[in-house]
Amino acid sequence: MTVTNDIKYVGVNDHQIDLFEGQYAVPNGMAYNSYAIIDEKIAIMDSVDIRFADEWIENVRATLDGRKPDYLIIQHMEPDHSSSIMRFIESFPDVKIVGSAKAFSMMKGFFGNDFANQRIVVGEGDKLCLGSHELTFITAPMVHWPEVIMTYDAADKILFSADAFGKFGALDVEEDWACEARRYYIGIVGKYGAQVQSVLKKIAELKIDMICPLHGPVIKENLDYYINLYDIWSSYRPETEGVCIAYTSIYGNTKAAVELLASELVKNGVRVAVNDLARCDMHEAVEDAFRYDRLVLATTTYNADIFPFMKEFIDHLTERNFQNRRVAFIENGSWAPMATKVMKSMLEKSKNLTYANTEAKIISALNDDSRSQILALVDEYSK
């Protein structure tokens, strides 16, 4: 794939993978992106997962048509982007490795070698001239590892953005960008909103015509749309007006309350996403919680605590700095109900949460009293 006249795509698609980072379902696979900048000198931007090293190196050889790379730039040391470094050096022994100081420390850990005799250490504002293309390096610590750098090519006005602006899914599958980019961002980068905000301020000073991430498609049009979404996500603002309902139900009674709530909200024109935490993709549910401006947590008291799937869900939210939302609770218990108390205690460190005035309590099964509480919550959450 041609990115520009001088920049070619040399990455690979992975349809063997089922769980990215051992936890995120990727039914449409993953792309491990790598780019060749071909000038008086040649720079290869990032490596790929070791399982695809041979395919990647063949892509590089075919693209360079007999020339050899001068530099391998490593922006991020996570193994899906770095584990083929040794294979690349075996194929091109004279290549210089470019990365941050922390990246080379990590290489020592991964490979037992920090490439002292062939490395170029770069930091904020450092430049690398390839000829007509001059690359400027931008430090991006904790987006989402501490060693990360991004690279700006002033000639073609391209930002090589490391994992930022990436998404799940291989490049040979067409799908909506925002849905899988949102799930990717919230799951993997979501904790580090402040660091993303810092990088957004840096790149706001650049003239960018194109973004080349390490996962997902090259972004060539409507860049303001993508950057605005990153600003929303990293500042923990709701993206969409609507209600995310996350629930667990043992014998169907809490589910019945949720179904009543959801159906009445929909009748009032409210957008609703319902997630049965025992059966849905947990990370899709987390995505919904961050996407919408209102959240309902519905669960049972269980062993003087809450049902395990709800506990896991709230842990995912708080780990990723969940904040700036309206939250309502529905609890169920046959005796000593305390689920709402437990859920509130788990959310204590979350910032700027506004709790609904209505707290619905079910004693075993819905009755007239608890139905009226659900309908009161409908009224409150329809505004």
Pairing of strands 42-45, 71-73: parallel
The pLDDT of residue 1 is: 84
Amino acid at 90: E
Report residue 190 as tokens.
């979501």
The pLDDT of residue 336 is: 85
- Rounded to two decimals, what is the model's pTM? 0.93
Exposed / middle / buried, residue 357 (Cβ in 10 Å: 0-12, 13-18, 19+): exposed
Report residue 322 as tokens.
């969940």
- Nearest residue to 179 via CA among 281, 78, 298: 281
Helix axes 282-291, 308-319, angle to 10 degrees: 50
What domains are there in the chain, each with its CATH number? 7-234 (3.60.15.10), 240-381 (3.40.50.360)
Which of the four pLDDT bands, split at 50, 70 and 90, describes residue 241? very high
Q: Give the model confidence (pLDDT) of 158-169 as tens digits.
A: 999 999 999 999
Q: Give the model confidence (pLDDT) of 260-290 as tens digits.
A: 999 999 999 999 999 999 999 999 999 999 9
**Is the pLDDT confidence value at 117 over 90?**
yes
Question: Radius of gyration (Cα) for the chain, nearest Å?
Answer: 24
Q: Give the model confidence (pLDDT) of 118-158 as tens digits.
A: 999 999 999 999 999 999 999 999 999 999 999 999 999 99
Q: How many CB atoms lie within 10 A of CB 77?
A: 24
* Averaged pLDDT for residues 241-261: 97
Q: Give the model confidence (pLDDT) of 64-105 as tens digits.
A: 999 999 999 999 999 999 999 999 999 999 999 999 999 999
Report residue 94 as tokens.
């004279």
